[in-house]
């Protein structure tokens, strides 16, 4: 019995399924069947056969191809970077691509994962909280992902159990094979139907299996993919083994044995890789490639060196130069679908970005990121990439300084920590550790004119600092941090009655109304924007009037509700108005780093870098200053 007061899982959209089936062939004379029927052709109903292969409506067998990337030896090799780079090369050729990440953990999503354990929580337009690899997919492909591009074991098991309770399996004993593996195949085929841009069918689905071959938690994914390749037929699936070639300093030479054994684990699971990509610090030597080829049944011309590069964004062109794209086209029989004109245009656009990224820069900037998880760069991967995009579009080399504010207890500490910085970013985060230090850092930036960008928590501590040091409310705080108040930051109204952490935040893309004539309207080139949110607290509505009268400008708001979403300070005021001014003081309740793309750098980050560049090196060094720099005038909203 299911009680109505039990908590409900977030993902309950488990549509009914149909099974691709036909009547099994009749026995030939002598009682033996002729031919070799496929899994799909022998499935009739779940209770009458051992075969189970769910097929979503609209799926056409053979229309979509699959490229599967599985890691060996160890995790953290960059499967997402490799998969997205290959997918970009195929997209440049005019093919519709759809990547998907298969995660082994039992969490329904990444929303409650600690960044120290799993890196950044990336938020999609539809509010899905997911793995940071989805951010890599979006940036490299310049294509928005959805919840369909991200699967966890928790989702799979939840959906299987929901179907079992509905009676969808027609009395069968529900098993890992075929029912759990069948659910994986169903999700992959659903993505094939709608995973292209604008919901169109995908020509190629790129599957990244989280973890490493041999892990317990991803074993059923690998089995499902083996079944999928068998059911779809020859030429339908390209398996890529991403492995690692070690180079111990004590030996001074590359060793391939770990790679050989890792690939062997994959082959033991029934997967024969078509291509092997070898990660290494240096280019993989021919001798190592030859050994790997010999022990894995893979031709030498399909064993590629994937050694370290200065930037992940150079990898697509290097894969193309190595001929990996041609091998995949041959394996999947896709040569006739290539649009050469489309490819040439896409390569020209990307080449311009790479030239800007890798060219020698005349100017330097030091940017401080005052985070909570500064020991782990992956916790702020999107900020790192947003700054990298800016360095391709402005003639500047950006040196990032990751700083912990825990030990800041006063203005002197803040001045010492931030000395020499040209700009400061305070990113999102939860909890009280380091918050007082961030507030002191914001005060230092506001009083010294250092360009400042506050993101989510950085937006909120900017409000608290302003209330304390401009309005004189020395005990101003947030209900998240406690204290006696007044509280200028409080929970969102819809969250105040909710307990727990999972699913209790304002998530996903939201519209923002921008005030004309403000810095926000300049950066976003209009009076509206759409950005992604992940927060539980907001500016207390009762505090807005006092903050505004004190000189803080809320230049971005929710279209309907009194939720402040962008703050700034003007760079000039009327004569006699001594309220604070600043060249670039900008706070966003949303996460602008999530929407930055290589060819379309994020406006808030570009504004920060342009302001810092002008302040240190002069406006003449800013590329397109009219686009990114605010001119001094006294008619700005106050």
Q: Tell me the C-alpha distance between 554 and 564, whole Å.
A: 6
**Entry field: residues in the chain:** 638
Q: Are 1 and 18 in contact (CB under 8 A)?
A: no
* C-alpha angle 256-136-119 in degrees, rounded to nearest 5: 80
SS3 473: coil
Neighbours of 517 (CB within 10 A): 16
One of 183, 343, 388, 593 is an active-site residue; which one?
A: 593
SS3 113: coil
One of 223, 456, 465, 582 is an active-site residue; which one?
A: 456
One of 274, 444, 535, 591 is an active-site residue; which one?
A: 591
Neighbours of 53 (CB within 10 A): 23
Q: Which of 456, 400, 354, 386 is nearest to 139 (CA)?
A: 386
Residue 607, judged by CB atoms within 10 A of its CB (0-12, 13-18, 19+), counts as buried
SS3 504: coil
Q: Tell me the C-alpha distance between 578 and 84, whole Å.
A: 51
Q: Are 22 and 2 in contact (CB under 8 A)?
A: no
Local structure of residue 246 (DSSP, 8 states): B
Residues with Cβ within 8 Å of residue 485, at least 6 apart in sequence: 475, 476, 477
Q: Which of 301, 307, 298 is nearest to 278 (CA)?
A: 307
Tokens, residue 46:
């779940």
Known catalytic membership, residue 327: no
Q: Tell whether the torsion through CA atoms of 432, 435, 437 and 439 is positive or negative.
A: negative
Q: Which of 578, 557, 577, 553 is nearest to 630 (CA)?
A: 553
**Alpha-carbon 239 to chain mean position:** 23
Known catalytic membership, residue 456: yes
Local structure of residue 497 (DSSP, 8 states): T
Known catalytic membership, residue 389: no
Q: Tell me the C-alpha distance between 291 and 133, whole Å.
A: 31
Q: Are 426 and 404 in contact (CB under 8 A)?
A: no
Q: Tell me the C-alpha distance between 551 and 563, whole Å.
A: 18
State yes or no: cis peptide before 596, omega within 30 of 0: no
Q: Tell me the C-alpha distance between 95 and 87, whole Å.
A: 9
* Beta-strand relationship, 537-539 and 506-514: unpaired
Active site (catalytic) residues: 456, 591, 593
């Amino acid at each position: 019995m299911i009680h109505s007061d039990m908590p409900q899982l977030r993902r309950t959209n488990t549509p009914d399924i149909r099974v691709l089936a036909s009547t099994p062939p009749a026995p030939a004379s002598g009682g033996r069947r002729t031919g070799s029927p496929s899994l799909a052709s022998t499935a009739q109903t779940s209770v009458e056969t051992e075969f189970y292969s769910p097929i979503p409506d609209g799926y056409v067998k053979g229309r979509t191809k699959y490229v599967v990337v599985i890691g060996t030896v160890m995790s953290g090799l960059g499967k997402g970077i490799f998969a997205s780079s290959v997918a970009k090369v195929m997209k440049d050729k005019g093919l519709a691509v759809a990547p998907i990440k298969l995660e082994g953990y039992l969490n329904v999503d990444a929303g409650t994962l600690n960044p120290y354990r799993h890196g950044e929580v990336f938020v999609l337009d539809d509010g899905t909280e997911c793995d940071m690899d989805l951010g890599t997919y979006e940036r490299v492909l310049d294509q928005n992902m959805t919840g369909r591009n991200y699967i966890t074991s928790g989702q799979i098991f939840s959906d299987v159990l929901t179907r079992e309770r509905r009676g969808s399996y027609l009395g069968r004993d529900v098993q890992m094979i075929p029912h759990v593996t069948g659910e994986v195949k169903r999700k992959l085929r659903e993505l094939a139907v709608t995973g292209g841009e604008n919901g169109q069918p995908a020509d190629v689905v790129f599957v990244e299996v989280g973890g490493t071959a041999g892990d317990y938690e991803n074993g059923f994914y690998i089995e499902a993919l083996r079944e999928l390749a068998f059911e779809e037929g020859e030429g339908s699936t390209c398996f890529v083994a991403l492995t690692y070639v070690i180079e111990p300093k004590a030996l001074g030479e590359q060793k391939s044995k770990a790679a050989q054994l890792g690939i062997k684990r994959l082959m033991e699971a029934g997967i024969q890789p078509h291509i092997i990509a070898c990660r290494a610090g240096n280019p993989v030597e021919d001798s190592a490639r030859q050994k790997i080829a010999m022990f894995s049944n893979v031709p030498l011309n399909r064993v590629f060196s994937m050694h370290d590069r200065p930037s992940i964004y150079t990898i697509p062109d290097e894969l193309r130069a190595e001929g990996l794209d041609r091998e995949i086209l041959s394996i999947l029989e896709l040569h006739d679908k290539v649009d050469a004109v489309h490819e040439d245009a896409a390569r020209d656009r990307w080449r311009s970005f790479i030239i800007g990224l890798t060219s020698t820069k005349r100017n330097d900037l030091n940017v401080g990121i005052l985070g909570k998880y500064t020991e782990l760069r992956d916790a702020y991967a999107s900020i790192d990439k947003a700054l990298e995009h800016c360095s391709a579009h402005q003639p500047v080399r950006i040196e990032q300084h990751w700083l912990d504010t825990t030990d800041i207890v006063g203005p002197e500490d803040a001045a010492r920590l931030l000395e020499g910085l040209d700009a400061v970013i305070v990113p999102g985060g939860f909890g009280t550790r380091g918050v007082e230090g961030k507030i002191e850092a914001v005060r230092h930036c506001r009083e010294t004119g250092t360009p400042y960008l506050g993101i989510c928590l950085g937006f909120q501590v900017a409000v608290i600092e302003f209330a304390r040091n401009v309005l004189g409310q020395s005990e101003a705080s947030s209900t998240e941090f406690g204290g006696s108040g007044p509280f200028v930051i409080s929970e969102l109204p819809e969250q105040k009655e909710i307990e727990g952490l999972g699913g209790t935040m304002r998530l996903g893309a939201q519209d923002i109304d921008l005030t004309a004539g403000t810095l926000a309207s300049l950066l976003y080139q209009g009076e509206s924007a759409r950005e992604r949110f992940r927060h539980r607290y907001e500016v207390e509505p009762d505090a807005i009037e006092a903050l505004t009268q004190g000189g803080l400008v809320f230049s971005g708001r929710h279209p309907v509700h009194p939720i402040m979403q962008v703050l700034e300070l003007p760079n000039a005021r009327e004569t006699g108005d001594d309220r604070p001014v600043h060249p670039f003081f900008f706070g966003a309740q949303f996460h602008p780093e999530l929407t930055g793309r290589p060819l379309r750098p994020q406006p808030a980050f570009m504004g920060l870098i342009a302001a810092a560049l002008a302040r240190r090196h002069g406006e003449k060094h800013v590329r397109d200053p009219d686009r990114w720099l605010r001119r001094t005038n006294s008619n700005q909203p106050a």
